[in-house]
Structures are given as C-alpha cells and as structure tokens.
Structure 1
C-alpha cells in the first residue's frame, strides 16, 4: 500500500444499481477524471463520475506527486519534434496547470501539504553537459524560467542540471478528496465499484455496467487506458512500471524535487508528515511484464537511497504504472475522428499531476464548445511528427516481440513448484497455465495464468505483488482481480493440488 492511500481515509460512495441520466459521464476517478468532473460541475453541467474500484486510490494514489513543468530533459526534444510553436503549447499548458492547482489550494485553504520547491533535472556525467545546455536554452525560448546549474543541493553526483523554481509537491489524495467535496457540492454524483463494461454511442450515449446504466450527451474516458476504442491505442501507448520507496532519515531531507536524466533514472522528494519529513525515492522504470526479478530492482533503489542518505527505516514500498505515447505527448481530446462527444485521456508518461489538470481544463472547454489552443497539440488523432517516427519501428518491434513471447506456450509440467511464502510463479500444471501464489501463512492460491484481454501468458511481479501482462499492461491482484490496464474481466480462480516432485 502507498503512503498516500494509507494516510487518508477512503470516502464511501454507492455502487450504481439503477439507470440514470447526466449531461456528462466521466469514467475513471483519478486526477484526470476528478479534475474534469469537478471543473465541468463548477460550470453548471450535470455530471456523473464512475469508478471501477474506489476513487483516487489507483494510479493517482500511487504517484510520486511532483507538480512541475520539469519533465526531465523534454523541451529540446519537443522543439525538434513538434516545432517551437507546439512545444510552447506544452510548456504553457503545464505551467497553467501548476498555477491552477496552486490557486485552488490557496483559495479553498486545502490541507494537502502543497509546498513550493525548486525542481532539478540533472545528469551525472559531463558527457551529457551539452544536452543540459540545449535543454536550458530550449526551455527559455518557450518562456520557462530555467537555470543552468553545475551542482545541486543534494548528496548525488550531478555534473550539470536544469533548475526550475516555484514548482511544488503535495499529498495527491488529500487534494483530490477536496476536489471531490467541491464536485458533490455542485451536485455531482459519484459511484464506486462501478465498472463500465460497454458503451453504445449515439444521442445520448449509453454506458452499461454490471448493475446499472447511464445515458449522457458527452462521455470522458479517463480510465488510465481507454476501455472504449482500445484497439486504436494498443499499438500507440506503451505501459511501463516503476518502484517507489519512502523512508525516515537521520538528519535533513532535501527540500526540493530531483530527477536524474542518466541511464538509470531516479527521482526523490520530501514528504512532510506529522512525525517529521520522510524521503520518497523512485526509479527503475521498465516495460510492464518484462522487469525480471523486480524484487532486485527494489533492492537497487534501496541501495541508491542508503548510499546517499542516512536512512533509518524504509516505511512504504509500492509500484506504479503509466503509459507513454509514441511521441511522448499525452492524448487528450476526442477519442476518434468519428466520436465528437466522446473524449479520452491517456499516455501521461509519468507526468500525470500537471497533465491530469491540463486534461480537466482542456476537456471542460471542448465539452462546452469553446476553442482551446492546446487541443491541436494533445489531439489523440494527430499524425505523429516525422521526427518521432524513427521511434515507431523499434517500439513496434519490441511490442511484437513481447506479444510473441507472451503467446509462447509453457513447457509441460506435472507438479506444483516449491514456492517460498510470499512468492508466485506462472506454470503449466496438467496442461493448464496457472498463476500460483503461496501466502505468508503457507496457503496456496491459483488463478488462470492467461491475460483476459490479450490472451498472453502473465508474469509474476514480486515487487508489485501482481500478475502482469507483457503484451498490453493489464495487471491483476494475487487473487486475480484486474486493477490496471485494458482488461475488463478478472482472472478465474482455480483449484490446485499440491504435488511436488
């Protein structure tokens, strides 16, 4: 469990068990969905918010919660790929989102530990110095207040870096829960445990769940990965995971936000708590389902942290997943050229706090019929820029390779492996692919080992304690419940007879 989830109470909302109507239905209650629903309700729209699990608990509940325009070394790439005009839209959108969040916190006196800080993107080697210089120049051309630095106020190897002042970090759950209060105050309706399984477009659109229906003039699909028109996005969005630790430190914790742009990326930031300031450290992003021994990756992050900070105790460990688009710019807008009143939000690529707010601002304008200059940059139906096309063959080859590996049958097996408590493995038992897990008290659990969406063979992720699909990024709990990715159906539970060799 993440610190953000553990340190906040979970509000209770009913499951949708009847038919209802609304001006707008927003599907997915993370920062993008909640922001969009709240902003629309504040403009007088009748909005219903549908969440398959519990609000603000999934992706946004497992973020690093950095609110910043500093998205690594991004701006030189954007100018080279999209041109200066559209790169400026990216900078403007994220800067506007940062200030929108700060304004809401200030005006409503939201207690979410929203703290201004500098953000550093640094490289450990002078070989990357020219890259940093180009990045600073690009950011300044786009109107961002970026500074070139040769050292950072943290115990890390930094040969050069970019500094952005007046950025922020915060408690994402407390912020979203305040937005939900504002949403309900404006008449918004929230339904938990309400997974949308089907949508029939028309006038109005009809959304079906296991136990209810919604009719709405406009629909926003903010489900991290779209449940509707999924095939349009399966080859254009790449799922990736990373691992996050928090710990107490004997001494001072750095006050700012840090992101290393080296070959092995890490980021870290402070977390103010009632018992003092904790340190959050994140790293080792890899394609979902391909991390190998992910427990080893977590140990490497622990080693990074303990070698640089006097860690007293690691307090929380969790994993996070996000999707990246081929050209590194999120998709925010109409879900297809033929669906003017169905909108999608996906592909934040690790920078969801500002982009979730960008989505709320942009989609509110689109639903209201207002022009917004950000639309042409974030258009999900855009043609990828020529300069980004060179990434497509490699990315496509990697996806096809993973898809082929995922469909490769396992070797025949006749017995259950002797797993240690807390461990899992996907095996072939008597001709059936099973995901086997042994609980800490020694009990055995078994689920189908095949993804319910793509049919690929799942991988056990020890760090995330999940069954992960290497083909599409679907993730399932130990007991087989889907909690991320495009899959709609849970894994079937299986009986297993423990017969060891």
Structure 2
C-alpha cells in the first residue's frame, strides 16, 4: 500500500546514530515539520540534530493529500467565536505566511507546485458556510461564496479561497533535506530532562523540539487528553474527472477531491482510530457510482492528530518545560501547519518575537467538550478486557480488518499483525 508520492520519488537515506553527542537543538521526528525546522536552523547557522525512528517522511507526510492552503475547514468562525477577532487574525496571518514561504521555496524546486482554488463545501448546512463568510469578512479576508461546484454531488454551496496551491510533498522534501544533519533509524526511547536515550547513543541538547506527530512524552502537557487520532483514506483514479480545484467537505467524514496529473485523488471514509468506518470501501462504492469507467491506480491511508479546538499545539511543551517545544495537532492541514510550526519554533529558538505564536499556545484552556470524549474513550478502553493492550497507557487494542493492524482507540497507536509499532505515541512494539 504505497501512496503516489512514495511510488514516484526516492528520498535520500541518512546514517544511524551510534555514539553520544551534544547539540544546541535536538529535533525528534523526521516528518515535514521536523525537516523544515532543521532547514531553518541550518540556514541560521544553529547547531542541531534531527533524529527519526524509521526513515524521513515515512509517516503522515508521505500519506498526505498535499494541499497548501490557509483555508482549514470552517475554522475562522470557530476561532472567532471561541477566542475573538485577534486570535482569528493571528491564525490567518500565520498560515498565510506559511503559504507564502512554500511559494518562495517552490520557485526553485521541481515539485509539481500548482496554483489551485480551494473550496470547503457542505452537503446540507448552508448556515455554517454563511457563518464562515461573515467571520472572514470580520477579520478582513475576502472569500467567495459558490453555489455550484465541479464535483459530482449536490451541495449547499462552498466557501472559496482563490489561488491556493497543491504539490508533490516528497519532491519538495528531497532537496530541502539534502545536506541536513539527520540520523535515521534512531528511536528516542526515553527523555531524561534534555537527554535523549536511543538504542546506540545519547543526545544531550540545550533545546528539544518534538515533532513526532503525537507527542510521546506523557509527563508534561497532558497530550493524551488533548489529542485523538483520525484515520482517512485515499484512492487515486485514472479516467475519472478534472475537478479544477481542491475540495473538502466541512464534515470530517465527508469527501475530498483534487487532481495530480491525470489522476483524481478521492479522499474520505474517515473515522476515529480504533473505530469502524467507511475506509476504502466507501470511496470505491462512490467511484463506481459516479466514475464507472475509472480505474484505481493507488490507495493509501493517513492518520491525523486532532486537537480539542482544531488549532495546532505549537510552542512550549508545557508551562514548566522552558527548553522543550512541540508541534502537533495539525488536524487535517499538516502542510501549512508544519510550515507555520517550523517558522514559529525556530523563531523561539533564535530569540525572535513571533506575533502569531499566541493562538497556538499548547497551554491554552483545555476545557472543551472533546476532552470529555477523549477521557471517556480512554476510560472505556482501559476497562475493556483484552489480551492485546497498547504499551503507551494500557488501552485495549482493536483489530482493523481493512488495514490488518491493531489500533488503539484511546490515543491512536497502531501495530502490524506481528506487533511491530506503526504509529505513535507508543514507544515500542507489542510484547511477544
């Protein structure tokens, strides 16, 4: 099960750490957020090391749909309602800066970068779209409302952000990572203060940035309550349709559309990790109905960390960890989220003021309805009798028949049929 991105690019490989070292900044996690952080620190002349437990971009980054946009669902009405105008403007500004940074970098990188309009649609709820339009007007962004869309389904309309972008994420990463100080197959098993313990060496660092998708250090930040994980699925079809843009349903279980070359990337079938959902079957049934002459060329799945309020956690890991930082909870918008995180965190390391950082503060109020859902899910599965239990915090694992994996409904760790860890926050395999 390879994504189209994996199948069309061969990334560089890096050595395994086999000694004890000291560095100014340690970055843990070799996805796009970690690599961009390393890239900016490298440019600034800061001594750093990035470590990745497998190979770079072998997790969520290689399974993205690779949309570069500052339209993240119907987020602006939500932020405006919860945190006010200034916070909504900070979120917009941070993600616009991220978009502009991609545009600048992609001018010199052959990564299939294309300008496309982005649409967030609703199948039934026009009121949500109108609320988002009003919120955007209030913070000074001129979005457009569209009645008709170039997708094969009836909708209540869509909010359109013109001139957004899409690209090939691994073609972008390949030259960015070239020359960076990276160690692969270097699994951080434990943190003792700012000392990272790996299988064949230790890393002593003045600052630590955790970009491991789901934060793996449980003693700070309460991320096991503040995050849950969500699976989503993609099929790539030829002989389907050029939808001439990027489309996503405002509902997390809805469909997304974008093209890559001659292929249509159809996404959806989503569900909370460890629960049942539509998966690829839902997408294949839809494709058979609306694109009966199409043929599936690729299929893959992604996993996203979902925050309590749909805003990422970027900044100090907790109030008590002044030299430990985190970037997580990008929801389904990891491309601009990763770039925004890398820009904010490298500013913090360099002692620069970033006027958009406050809205992403990981220590913001967690009294949100989702925290009760997350807590209930954890309690229920801790009390479930099962031989297969997650080594992260002991929750009962569920068998995922579509992907043939053992999945944790609490925090989203996943293991293959032999017990090898696939997705964190679990920090090791299942006991044999």
* TM range, smaller chain: over 0.9
- Kindly indicate whether residue 114 of structure 2 is the aligned counterpart of residue 115 of structure 1: yes
**Which is higher, the Rg of structure 1 or of structure 2?**
1
Q: Which residue of the partner structure matches residue 190 of structure 2?
A: 198
CA deviations 1:122-153 (Å, max 9, x no partner) are 1223xx22221221121233233310111112
CA deviations 1:272-327 (Å, max 9, x no partner) are 2xxxx111111132211012xx5x53211112233333552111122111111112
- Kindly indicate whether residue 266 of structure 2 is the aligned counterpart of residue 281 of structure 1: yes
Check whether the contact 1:459–1:470 (CA below 8 A) recurs between aligned residues. yes
Q: Which residue of the partner structure matches residue 246 of structure 2?
A: 257
Check whether the contact 1:230–1:486 (CA below 8 A) recurs between aligned residues. no
Equivalent position SS for 1:235: helix
Check whether the contact 2:390–2:413 (CA below 8 A) recurs between aligned residues. yes
TM-score, length-normalised on structure 1? 0.82
Check whether the contact 1:249–1:313 (CA below 8 A) recurs between aligned residues. yes
CA deviations 1:2-25 (Å, max 9, x no partner) are 221122113221110111222211
Structure 1 residue 454, shift from structure 2 partner: 2.1
Structure 1 residue 224, shift from structure 2 partner: 0.5
Distance 1:230 1:315, change over 3 A: farther
Q: Which residue of the partner structure matches residue 228 of structure 1?
A: 217
Which of 414, 427, 431 is matched with 1:475 structurally? 414
Q: Which residue of the partner structure matches residue 164 of structure 1?
A: 161
Higher relative contact order (CA 8 A, sep 6+): 2
- Kindly indicate whether residue 333 of structure 2 is the aligned counterpart of residue 331 of structure 1: no
After superposition, the CA RMSD in angstroms is 1.7
- Find the aligned partners of 1:407 and 1:179 in 2 and give their Cα distance: 46
Structure 1 residue 118, shift from structure 2 partner: 0.2
Gaps of 5+ in 1: 411-432, 434-448, 494-501
- Find the aligned partners of 1:481 and 1:263 in 2 and give their Cα distance: 29
Q: Which residue of the partner structure matches residue 57 of structure 1?
A: 58
Distance 1:171 1:309, change over 3 A: same
- Kindly indicate whether residue 238 of structure 2 is the aligned counterpart of residue 239 of structure 1: no
> How many pairs are equivalent?
430
Q: Which residue of the partner structure matches residue 341 of structure 2?
A: 359
Q: Which residue of the partner structure matches residue 179 of structure 1?
A: 176
- Find the aligned partners of 1:390 and 1:473 in 2 and give their Cα distance: 20
Check whether the contact 1:305–1:311 (CA below 8 A) recurs between aligned residues. no
TM-score, length-normalised on structure 2? 0.95
Which of 141, 146, 150 is matched with 2:147 structurally? 150
Q: Which residue of the partner structure matches residue 74 of structure 2?
A: 73
Q: Which residue of the partner structure matches residue 14 of structure 1?
A: 15
Structure 1 residue 50, shift from structure 2 partner: 0.2
Check whether the contact 2:225–2:374 (CA below 8 A) recurs between aligned residues. no
Q: Which residue of the partner structure matches residue 98 of structure 1?
A: 99
Query: Which 4+ residue blocks in structure 1 deviate beyond 4 angstroms?
Result: none
Check whether the contact 1:34–1:180 (CA below 8 A) recurs between aligned residues. yes
Q: Which residue of the partner structure matches residue 248 of structure 1?
A: 238
